[in-house]
Amino acid sequence: MMSIEEKSVMQLEQVKIREQDPKERNRNFNEVCLGYIEEEAIKEALRCIECGQCMKGCPVQINIPGFIHLIKEKKHEEAYKMIKETNSLPGVCGRVCPQETQCEILCPLGKKGQPVAIGKLERFVADHAIKTKVKENIKIKSNHIKIAVVGSGPAGLTCAGELAKKGYEVTIFESFHLSGGVLRYGIPEFRLPRKILDNEIDHIKHLGVKIINNVLIGKSLTLDDLKKDEFKAVFIAVGAGLPTFMNIPGENLNGVVSANEFLTRNNLMLAFSEESHTPIRAVSPVIVVGGGNVAMDSARSAKRLGAKEVIVVYRRTEKEMPARVEEVHHAMEEGIEFHFLTNPVEILGDDKGWIKEVKCIKMELGEPDESGRRRPVPIKDSEFTIKTNTLIMSIGQKPNPLISQSLPELETTKWGTIVANDDMMTSIEGVFAGGDIVTGAATVIAAMEMGRKAADGIEKWISKK
Amino acid sequence: MYKITSKEEIAPDVFKYSIHAPLAVKNAKPGQFVIIIPKPSGERLPLTIYNAGKEDVTIIFQKVGHSTEILASMEVGESMEAVLGPLGRAAEIKKLGKVVCIGGGVGTAVLYPEIKALKEAGNTVYSIIGAREKSLLILEKEVSEYSDKVFITTDDGSYGEKGFVTDPLKKILEEEEVNEVIAIGPVIMMKVVSELTKKYNVHTVVSLNPVMVDGTGMCGGCRVEIDGKTKFACVDGPEFDGHQVNFTELMNRNRQYDEHRGEKCHAVGTGKN
């Protein structure tokens, strides 16, 4: 019999994960990745040599070798509980975390072959817990201290969950009628099924967290109202949901939408379903401007809504795309076209105000800019036009300004992000902030890390008082 | 939550609802709006607040498409899926002197709280309310209560003066000094009023109602061109200087999803249509 170590050395490649056929999936909104079955998960887990290098790359320090070891022993429920110690959204993170640049990149197996599929294993454990209806026995003694969390995205949910475990009475205020923030309105069903998200939110509610929907803090209730209502501390986690436009002529033509609008109509308002009353337009040819995950989500959603031709226009090359490699690869498989080194300069319309075509300019890569990526430079006289009926602007999101506008004494940066210290406290005593509202648009897991830090910071601050 | 506490059809296809929504009214001021989702699969409908009571929000709306039809079919005791508010910036209510307030159609409902607030702030208020025909004219009594003078116009002359709201406005502008005009109603009415007042150099405020989704500044669907710059009506408005609004663009943009009006809405892709 071979030892575990010997076996793992032999397997240079990951156990292949099953996916929906690209020709099939680009016409539905079901999840692309079908996940490992138990046998496959164990086989993949056995590749792991449990060195623990990967943990250095995990923003929430999941005990990765620990939970993988438990999978090997078929102790999936224990594996789930181990992940949950530091990560309250394993089903989400197993799907949307960029493991390839965080934990998996540090896996020594990746040097000769493929790293252990840590994300896919995390996802397996989370899905297995749903399937077997794992109930966590959590006994919490309330300390009767009320904390308000503004926003129910990854930072807000994490902070609320952590504080609830410490005994605080947490209320999350969410402006949408459904919870989850960007996980709900931004990430499509085919990457993160609603039932997975609902389940993880239910777990957080199970800890005693109360979520009040349809409340916009700064408008429905002010921070002063919260103070009067005896909330001892506030955590602002309102995200970066403000759409960016290019400020080129023709952007207000009919048929030009922000990725936020397009995705919100589809993901939050379920425009793709027959029952929904919310309309959406994805009339071919569809152009998506941008190279991030949001651009990929928009392009792939447009395709699924029935648009024959979907073209992503990106000003740099494939190599510089901020989107996850996996997402770009999936998009290509699904028939999305890519025009690299191309940048829109003007959108042209007809006499009724509808988009007709987009004028683009060819780019080339010049010297590296502050981000370290080579700066795209326009090539003189290289303009050309592409016919289009829908243009989805997906060039980034900015911090939501509503709260900062309602609190002039809150210190912000020139980019509109809120300034917070190491404990995530802002310039206002007792007011904490974290997630994209502090860093600008980043990852789900980074937001969760700040949610955790804020929970610790809030406890530290309250115990000092 | 969000129970309909009263319902009244104040004109054919024009409804007045009060809905229990304490958090939507707690900090509400004239000029602001709420977003209502009538039923679980419903659209987000932006509707300006007619009255903010202690715990109830009152709205007035016209049945114009599928979603407002669903809303109109709901009865007292039924609950909305969601009510979010107050959204947008409050109207600026100051003592200006003489203010002419112009309401067209259901726009009068949006205008009314401002008429009241302007009067209470010590202004002389002239109100002009117009409708297509007599049965569609709303809130005459309520408006009169807070107006020094009321002018009524109908397109067909079935009540008041035959003609448009701009007819009495022009007379007033010719004869008296006016400090501000507020016009709320169909886009075309606000456009025509703004063009007229520009000639007389009278500051004019309009309240815009573009297509929007979230109402909190996140989708950008409600972008309007104001003085050559793009603004979001949901957070920068809904009220703007009428002389700076690109009305042609606004009218175009409001047609974006028109193919869905009055029918079941679904995705429009080449695969489906």
- A200 within 8 A of A88, measured Cβ to Cβ: yes
Instruction: Let me know: does B18 contact B56? Beta carbons within 8 Å.
Output: yes
Nearest to A353 among B23, B214, B249 (CB): B249
Q: Where residue B42 falls among pLDDT bands split at 50, 70, 90?
A: very high
Q: What is the CATH number of domain A4-131?
A: 1.10.1060.10
Nearest CB to A279 within list B37, B255, B265: B265
Q: Which residues of chain A have pLDDT under 70?
A: 1-10
- The arithmetic mean of pLDDT across residues B47-56, rounded, is 94
Does residue B269 belong to any structural domain of this protein? no
State the pLDDT at residue B87: 96
> What domain range is B242 assigned to?
98-257
Q: Where are the alpha helices (DSSP H) in A173-270?
A: 182-185, 194-206, 223-228, 259-263
B34 pLDDT above the threshold of 50: yes
Mean pLDDT of B94-122: 95
Separation in Å, CA B60 to CA A381, A459, B130: 55, 47, 16
CB B191 within 8 A of CB B169: no
Q: Return the pLDDT at A158.
A: 96
Distance, C-alpha B33 to centroid of its chain: 9
Cβ contacts of B232 within 8 Å, gap of 6 or more: B217, B220, B222, B223, B224
Q: Residue A277: which of B67, B224, B270 has the nearest Cβ?
A: B67
What is the reported pTM? 0.94
* In a shared domain, residues B82 and B102: no
pLDDT digits (tens, 9 = 90+) for B234-262: 999 999 999 999 999 999 999 888 764 43
- Look at residue A463 in the predicted model and tell me its pLDDT: 93
Q: What residues 185-214 of chain A have any CB closer than 8 A to a CB of chain B?
A: 185, 213-214
Within-domain flag for B197: yes
Percent share of chain B, pLDDT over 90: 90
Reported confidence tier of residue B264, pLDDT bands at 50, 70, 90: very low
Q: How many CB atoms lie within 10 A of CB B31?
A: 26
Cβ within 8 Å, pair A220-B24 = yes
B167 shares its domain with B226 = yes
Q: What is the pLDDT of residues B145-174, one digit of tens each?
A: 999 999 999 999 999 999 999 999 999 999
pLDDT score recorded for residue A5: 52
CB contact under 8 A, A258 and B270: no
CA distance A221 to chain B (A): 7
Q: Please report the ipTM that was assigned to this predicted complex.
A: 0.92
Of A213, A216, A286, A395, which to mutate for an interface test with B (greatest number of B Cβ within 10 Å)? A216
Q: Where are the domains of chain A?
A: 4-131, 146-241+399-463, 246-396
pLDDT score at A121: 97
B176 assigned to some structural domain: yes
Give yes or no: residues B73 and B105 share one domain.
Answer: no
Are residues B62 and B123 both part of a single domain? Answer: no
Question: How many contacts, defined by CB atoms under 8 Å, are there between A and B?
Answer: 161
Number of domains in chain B: 2
Give the model confidence (pLDDT) of B173-187 as tens digits. Answer: 999 999 999 999 999
B154 lies in the same domain as B240: yes
Q: What is the pLDDT of residue B259?
A: 61
CATH numeric code, A246-396: 3.50.50.60
- Choose among A264, A302, A306: nearest Cβ to B272: A306
Which contiguous run of DSSP H or E holds residue A65? helix A64-72
B49 plus B116 within the same structural domain: no
Q: Which of B2, B87, B214 to mutate to test the interface with A (most CBs of A within 10 A)?
A: B214
Query: Closest by alpha carbon to B152, among B142, B165, B143, B139?
Result: B165
Domains A4-131 and A246-396 share a fold: no
- Its CATH class, for the domain covering A146-241+399-463, is alpha beta
Residue type, A263: L
Residues B25 and B160 in one domain: no
Predicted local confidence at residue A3, as pLDDT: 52
Please judge whether B218 and A264 are an interchain contact, meaning their C-beta atoms are less than 8 angstroms apart: yes
